[in-house]
Chains A and B, each alone.
Chain A
Amino acid sequence: MTEAPDGTARRSPLDAVHVAAGASFTDFAGWQMPVRYSSDLAEHRAVREAAGLFDLSHMAEIVVLGPEAAAALDHALAGRLSAIEEGQAKYSLLLAEDGGIIDDLVVYRTGPDRYLVVANAGNRIPAAEALRERASGFDCVVEDESDDVALIALQGPRAEEILREVEGFDIPGLDGLRYYRAVTGDFRGHEVLIARTGYTGEDGFEFFLAPDAAPALWDALAETGAGAGLIPCGLAARDTLRLEAGMPLYGHELTRETLPHQVGLGRVPVLGKPGGFVGEEAVAAGPAADARVLVGLAAEGRRAGRADYEVFAAEDAADAAGVITSGALSPTLGHPVAMALVDPALAEVGTTVFIDVRGTRIPATVVTLPFYSRKKS
Chain B
Amino acid sequence: MTLPADLKYTSEHEWVAVDGDIARIGITDYAADKLGDVVFVDLPQAGTPAVAGRVVGEIESTKSVGELYAPVDGEIVEVNEALADDPSLVNSDPYGAGWMIAVRFTGLPELLSADEYAALTAE
Residues on A facing B (Cβ under 8 Å): 24, 35-36, 39-42, 44, 236, 239-240, 302-304, 306, 328-329, 331, 358
B61 lies within 8 A of chain A by Cβ: yes
The residue of chain A having its C-beta at the shortest distance from the C-beta of B35 within the complex is A40
Query: Can you name the residue of chain A whose Cβ is closest to the Cβ of B91?
Result: A39
- Chain B interface residues (CB < 8 Å from chain A): 33-34, 36-37, 39-40, 42, 58, 60-65, 88, 91
Q: Which residues of A contact B60 (CB under 8 A)?
A: 302-304, 329
Residues of A with C-beta under 8 A to B61: 40
Instruction: Determine the distance from Cα of A331 to Cα of B36 in the docked complex, in whole angstroms.
Output: 13
- Contacts beyond the supplied A304-B60, A329-B39, A331-B62: 5 A-B pairs with Cβ under 8 Å: A40-B36, A41-B39, A303-B40, A303-B42, A358-B65
Q: Which 9 A-B residue pairs are closest in the complex by CB-CB distance?
A: A302-B40, A41-B37, A40-B36, A40-B37, A40-B62, A329-B39, A236-B63, A39-B37, A328-B62
A328 to B64 Cα, complex, angstroms: 9
Check if B36 sits within 8 Å of A306, measured CB to CB. Answer: no
B88 → A minimal CB distance (Å):
8
Expressed in whole angstroms, the Cα–Cα distance for A190 and B27 within the complex equals 47
In the assembled complex, 5 residue pairs joining A and B whose CB atoms fall closer than 8 Å, in A order, are A40-B63, A41-B37, A41-B39, A329-B39, A358-B58
How many Å from the CB of A371 to the closest CB on chain B? Answer: 14
From B36, B40, B42, B64, A36 is in contact (CB under 8 Å) with B36
Q: In chain B, what residue has the closest Cβ to A236?
A: B63
Establish whether residues B39 and A24, one from each chain, have CB atoms under 8 Å apart when the complex forms. Answer: no
**Contact partners of B34 in chain A: CB under 8 A:** 24
Given known A302-B39, A329-B40, contact A240–B33 (CB-CB < 8 A): no
Is the pair B65, A306 in contact by a Cβ cutoff of 8 Å?
yes
Q: Which residues of A contact B58 (CB under 8 A)?
A: 358
Bound Cα distance from A24 to B123, whole angstroms: 14
Q: Quick one: closest B residue to A331, CB to CB? A: B62
Nearest to A235 among chain B residues (CB) is B63
A57 to B52, CA, bound (A): 45
Question: Could you tell me the distance between the alpha carbons of A306 and B33 in the complex, rounded to whole angstroms?
Answer: 20
Contact A329 B62 (CB under 8 A): yes
Cα A304 to Cα B58 in complex, Å, equals 12
A39 to B65, CA, bound (A): 16
| Chain B min CB distance to A93 (Å) | 27
A227 shortest CB reach to chain B, Å: 25
Chain B nearest CB from A344 CB (Å) reads: 30
- Residues from chain B with Cβ under 8 Å of A36 in the complex: 36
Instruction: Check if A41 sits within 8 Å of B40, measured CB to CB.
Output: no
Task: Specify which chain B residues have a CB less than 8 angstroms from the CB of A328 in the assembled complex.
Answer: 62-63
Q: For the complex, what is the distance from the CA of A86 to the CA of B34, rounded to whole Å?
A: 44
Contacts of A236 in B (CB 8 A): 36, 62-63
Contact A240 B62 (CB under 8 A): yes
A24 nearest in chain B by CB position: B33
Q: Which residues of A contact B88 (CB under 8 A)?
A: 41
Report the separation of the CA atoms of residues A304 and B40 in the bound assembly, to the nearest whole angstrom.
Answer: 9
**Interchain CA distance A240-B62 in the complex, whole Å:** 8
A312 to B24, CA, bound (A): 39
Chain A residues whose CB sits within 8 angstroms of the CB of B39 once the complex forms:
41, 302, 329
Output the nearest chain B residue to A360 by Cβ-Cβ distance. B42
Q: Among the interface residues A35, A42, A303, which one has the most CB atoms of the partner chain B within 10 A?
A: A303
State how many angstroms separate the Cβ of A308 from the closest Cβ of chain B.
12
Taken together as a complex, chains A and B put the C-alpha atoms of A308 and B56 apart, in Å, by 23
Contact (Cβ within 8 A) B42 A41: no
For residue A306, which residues in chain B have a CB less than 8 angstroms away from its CB? 64-65
Q: Which residues of A contact B63 (CB under 8 A)?
A: 35, 40, 236, 239, 328
A358 contacts which chain B residues (CB < 8 A)?
58, 65
Question: What residue of chain B has the Cβ atom nearest to residue A36's Cβ?
Answer: B36
Distance in Å from the Cβ of B82 to the closest Cβ of chain A?
15
Nearest CB to that of A234 among chain B residues?
B36
A375–B62 Cα distance when bound, in Å, is 24
User: Complex: how many Å from CA A147 to CA B91?
Assistant: 37
B56: min CB distance to chain A, Å:
14
B112 CB to nearest chain A CB (Å)? 23
Q: Is the CB of A35 within 8 A of B36?
A: yes
